[in-house]
Amino acid sequence: MDTLFRLPLFITLLTFNFTLIPLGAESVDVTGQSSDQQEIKLDGQWEFYWNELLYPEDFINKDVSKMKDYIEFPGSWTTQKGYPSEGYATLRLIVGGILPQTTYSLYIPEMLTSFRFFLDGKEVFSNGIVSKEKDEGKPQFLPGIVSFESEKGSIEIICQISNYDYRNSGIWRSVKLGTESVIKKNYEQKLLLEMFISIVLLTISIFHIGIYIYRKEAIAELLFGLTCLVLFFRTIATGEQLINTFIPSFPWEIARKLEYSPFYLLEPLFMTFLTSLFPKESIKWLNKTLLGIFGMLGIFFISFPIRISNHAIIIAEILLVIAIIYAFSILLRATIHKREHSLPIISAFTILALGSMNDILFSQGFISSLYLAPLGFILFIFIQSQMLSIRYARSFRKVQTLSLQLKGINESMSRFVPFQFLNYLKKNSITDVNLGDQVLENMTILFADIRSFTSLSEVMTPEENFKFLNSFLSQVVPVIREQGGFVDKFIGDAIMALFPYPPDKAVQASIELQNAVKRYNTARDRAGYRAIDLGIGIHTGPLMLGTIGETNRMETTVIADSVNIASRLEQLTKIYGSKIIISRELLDKMDNKNDITYRTLGEALVKGKSQALGIMEILDDSNNDLDKKKIQVIAEFEAAVEFIKYKNYKAARPLLEEILKNIPEDKAASFFLNQCTI
C-alpha cells in the first residue's frame, strides 16, 4: 500500500516548479507533493490579516473573511500592498495533498523580525517575542525545522508576525516542505557549507594577520586578513544564522551590526588592499573621498540602533556599487598595464562583484536567491593565496640566496674574526657585532713566537717572507684549533691564541705545536732551509673580550693582565733556553697535571709586575732529545734552583756544574750557574 501511495507522488514530482493556487476564499493548496529527493517551496499567495494576531481557534469561532487580504511570499507586505513595515499581522496557508503515514518537515526561515508558527492548531516554532506594542516585542533571526505527520491529507499553517526593528517586513526566504530526510539533509548541507565558508574565512584571516604581526611591512596581508575577518562576521550573521544557531541568546542588535559591517568596513579595507597592490592605477583623491564617506557611514551604523540605521542600507548599497565600479577600474587599468597578478585578480573580482550584486538585489527583495558574496570571496581568497604562495616562494628563494651569501661572508669573516670570539660575545654573525661589545671570561692565553725571525727575514725578499710565514702558520694553527683553542691575532711572526678553561688543552697544544715545528723543520731541512725554533709562554686568568676602535673601523681584542703575563713568559723562553714556559698559577689550575712533565724555573720578575711569578718549564720526552736529558736530572736541577732561592749558592753550584757537564746545552742551568758567581 505504501508503494502505491509513493508511485503517483514520484510521478507528480518529475517537475520541480510548484505553484500555490487559491482554493476558495480562505485557503490555498499545492498541486505538487514532496518526494524523497526534492523539497517544495511554499511560495505564492498567503492569507494576510493586518494588525491582527489570530490564533487557530479564531479561524473556527470568528468570521475573519472581512479582514483577509493576500500577500505574495517570499516578499514584503510594504512593497506589495503599501502596509507599514512596522506593525503586526497573521499569515495563513492551507497545504493540501499531504500523504498519510509519512513524516514531513517544514523548513522555517527567519522572518522580519519575530514570529510564532502554528501547525494544525499547535505552536511548533517561534523567533523572539511577537507583540502588538512596540516596546514589548523582541526580534530574533533563527531558522529551524519542524517535523510532523498528518492523516487528514492537509495541514494548516498560521504564522503570527510582528516587526518594529527593520525597514522591511514579511518573509525573506521560502518556507519549504518535504520529507523529513530531505529537509534535514538540505538544511544540514547548507549549515555545513556556511560553516566551511566561515572556517575558511577565519583561517585565512588569522593567517594573513599573523604574517603582519611578524612582518610589519606586510600591509597588504593585514588589509586582506581584516577583509576576510569582516566577511567572516557577515557570513555567520546571515543565511542560516550560524551565530544564533550555536549561540541562540546572541543579541539580535549586535548580529545585525555584524551583518552590516561590510558596508562600512569591507569595501574600505578591500579598496585599500587593491590600491596597495596597484598604487599607480588608483586615484588618491577618490581613495580619500570614499574612505571618508565609508568612515562616516560606519560611525552612523555603529552609533544608532538597527531600527534607525538599517534605513541607510540603500545608501550603503549604492556606495558599494560605486566602490565596485572603482575597484574594477583599478584592476582593469592594472591588467592593461600588465601588472603582476592583475589578470587572475580581475577574474576573481568579477565573480565577487556579481555575487555582491546578487546579495544587494536579494536583500532588497528584487530576486529570490541566497547570499553569494562569501562564495565569490572564497574564490578570491584561493587566488590571493596562490599569489601569496608565489610571492613567498620568490621571497624564500631570495632569502636562500641571501643566506648563502651571508654564510659565505660569515665564513670569510671567520678567517678574520674567529666564530669562537663571536660565541663568547653571544653574537650569531659578524654583522651583529657592535662597537663596545665586551664580555668577561676566564681563559688561557698562549703566546708563540719564532726565534730569531729578524735575522731569518733579512735574507728573504718580502714575498718570500709572506710565503714563509703562511707556510709555517698553516702547519701550527690547525694544532691550536684541534685542541679547542682559536687564534685571536697574528702579530708578525707571533701568535696569540685563547683556550677555554681549564688550561690543560692549552698546555697540550703547546707540546703539539713543538712537535709540528719539528716536522716542519724536517721538511725545511730537505729543502735546504735553516731550522726554526718556537718559544711558547702560557698563562691563565680573567680577561675581557670585546671590540675597540670607532664606528667605521673596529677590531676584536683581548684586554687583561693575564695577556701581558703570557707575553712576558714567552719572552723568558729566550733567557732560559726553554721551548715552553707556563706560570705556576696555571699549573695549579690544571685538572690533570700528572699527565705532563715539568721542572720549576723558580720565580721571575716579569715586566709590569711588582711581585715575582713562579714559572715552570714543560718538558716532552716523547719527541725531544734535549728534554729527555733534562728529565733525567730534574731532581738535581730543582734542588739547585731551591738553593738559589735562599741564596745558598755554595750548595747549588756543584749541582748545576754536574748538570752542565752532562747537558752543556741546558741554557737554564747556565743561567742559574751565572747567578751563583754573582
Note the pLDDT tens digit of each residue in 301-342: 889 998 888 888 888 878 878 888 888 888 888 888 888 767
- 70-125 pLDDT, tens digit per residue, is 999 888 999 888 999 999 999 999 988 888 888 999 999 999 999 999 999 999 99
Please indicate, yes or no, if residue 204 is contained in any of the structural domains. no
- 398-422 pLDDT, tens digit per residue, is 777 777 776 766 665 555 556 565 6
Count how many domains the chain has: 4
552 and 483 fall within a common domain: yes
Handedness of CA 274, 279, 280, 282 (dihedral sign): positive
320 and 443 fall within a common domain: no
- pLDDT at site 419: 54
151 and 275 fall within a common domain: no
Residues 6 or more apart whose CB falls under 8 angstroms from that of 664 comprise none
Exposed / middle / buried, residue 494 (Cβ in 10 Å: 0-12, 13-18, 19+): middle
The residue ranking higher by pLDDT, 131 or 325, is 131
Joined together, the cell numbers standing for residue 302 give: 555603529
Whether 466 has a pLDDT exceeding 90, the answer reads: no
Instruction: Give the pLDDT band of residue 25 (cuts 50, 70, 90).
Output: very low
Range of the domain at 124: 2-186
639 and 574 fall within a common domain: no
621 and 646 fall within a common domain: no
The arithmetic mean of pLDDT across residues 479-506, rounded, is 85
- 146-171 pLDDT, tens digit per residue, is 999 988 888 999 999 999 999 889 99
- pLDDT at site 18: 35
Please indicate, yes or no, if residue 193 is contained in any of the structural domains. no
The residue ranking higher by pLDDT, 377 or 331, is 331
Please indicate, yes or no, if residue 25 is contained in any of the structural domains. yes
553 and 505 fall within a common domain: yes
Query: Given 165, 186, 207, which residue is the final one in a domain?
Result: 186
Query: Given 186, 203, 231, which residue is the final one in a domain?
Result: 186
Instruction: Give the pLDDT band of residue 517 (cuts 50, 70, 90).
Output: confident
- Which range is least confidently modeled, 24-38, 69-83, 296-310, 649-663? 24-38
Residue 53, sorted as left (phi over 0), alpha (psi -120 to 50) or beta, turns out to be beta
616 and 649 fall within a common domain: no
Q: What percent of the chain stands above pLDDT 90?
A: 21
Contacts 24+ apart (CB under 8 A), 52-58: 52/88, 52/89, 52/90, 53/88, 53/90, 53/130, 53/132, 53/160, 53/162, 54/90, 54/92, 54/158, 54/160, 55/118, 55/158, 56/118, 56/120, 56/121, 56/122, 56/156, 56/158, 57/121
- 47-59 pLDDT, tens digit per residue, is 999 999 999 999 9
Please indicate, yes or no, if residue 525 is contained in any of the structural domains. yes
560 and 640 fall within a common domain: no
- pLDDT at site 675: 85
56 and 145 fall within a common domain: yes
440 and 578 fall within a common domain: yes
Cα–Cα distance list, 380 to 38, 192, 277, 385 (Å)? 32, 20, 15, 8
Please indicate, yes or no, if residue 483 is contained in any of the structural domains. yes
Instruction: Give the pLDDT band of residue 443 (cuts 50, 70, 90).
Output: confident
What CA–CA distance (Å, rounded) separates 91 from 77? 11
The residue ranking higher by pLDDT, 235 or 89, is 89
Query: Model pTM?
Result: 0.57
- pLDDT at site 6: 33
616 and 655 fall within a common domain: no
Please indicate, yes or no, if residue 50 is contained in any of the structural domains. yes
Query: Which CATH number is 95's domain given?
Result: 2.60.120.260
Query: Which CATH number is 548's domain given?
Result: 3.30.70.1230
DSSP notation for 161-216: EEESS-SS-EESS--EEEEHHHHHHHHHHHHHHHHHHHHHHHHHHHHHHHHHHH-T
Please indicate, yes or no, if residue 451 is contained in any of the structural domains. yes
Please indicate, yes or no, if residue 306 is contained in any of the structural domains. yes
Distance, first Cα to last Cα, the chain: 139
Query: Given 171, 186, 201, which residue is the final one in a domain?
Result: 186
- pLDDT at site 541: 85
Instruction: Give the pLDDT band of residue 34 (cuts 50, 70, 90).
Output: very low
What CA–CA distance (Å, rounded) separates 188 from 437? 65
625 and 642 fall within a common domain: no
- Which range is least confidently modeled, 413-427, 430-444, 571-585? 413-427
User: Average model confidence (pLDDT) for the chain?
Assistant: 81
Cα–Cα distance list, 615 to 337, 564, 583 (Å)? 81, 15, 4
DSSP notation for 566-630: HHHHHHHHHHHT-SEEEEHHHHHH-S-GGGSEEEEEEEE--TT-SS-EEEEEEE-SSS-HHHHHH
